[in-house]
Amino acid sequence: MNTQTGEVIFISVLDSIYDEQDAQPEDIEENDDIYLPIESIPSREAYLWMRAFVDQLVAPQNEQAAEKLSLALMGKGAFRRFKAVLSSMGETWIQAWYQWRDERLYEAIKAWLMGLPFPIIQE
């Protein structure tokens, strides 16, 4: 995130292949005094969001669906299995999950922004 303009730039290993027009990692490294990295949500936190979704939203409405999702969350590969089981449950649950996740992402981003050492202007 550019701390002077608020612009957020997503950088991946594919950026240099696809788009030479936008800021590149080396541009940001040269100006690291104005760019602040935005860390990914830790996988443990994302896992807890999935667990809370099952417990708080799915279980009260559909115990069988909650049981399937709970089983999917056990062990290695939980994220992949969760998405696969969720996809098999239909569009309503998929949309519910994305809305749930987006609300948590919004709150996490808001908390991160409020912790920055400069004022944040909401528009």
Residue 35 β-bridge partners:
2
Q: Is this model's pTM higher than 0.85 or not?
A: no
Rounded distance, CA 11 to CA 25, Å? 7
Q: What is residue 94's predicted lDDT score, i.e. its pLDDT?
A: 96
Give me the pLDDT at residue 49, please: 97
Going residue by residue through the chain (123 aa), what tens digit of pLDDT does each one get?
777 887 777 776 554 544 555 555 566 666 667 877 788 889 999 999 999 999 999 999 999 999 999 999 999 999 999 999 999 999 999 999 999 999 999 999 888 888 887 777 766
pLDDT, residue 82, reads 97
Between CA 103 and CA 10, with CA 44 as vertex, the angle to 5 degrees is 60
DSSP assignment of 16-79 equals: HHH-SSS--HHHHHHTTTTB---PPPPHHHHHHHHHHIIIIIIHHH-HHHHHHHHHHTSSTTHH
pLDDT of residue 25: 59
The three state secondary structure string of 23-37 is: CCHHHHHHCCCCECC
- Name residue 39's amino acid: E
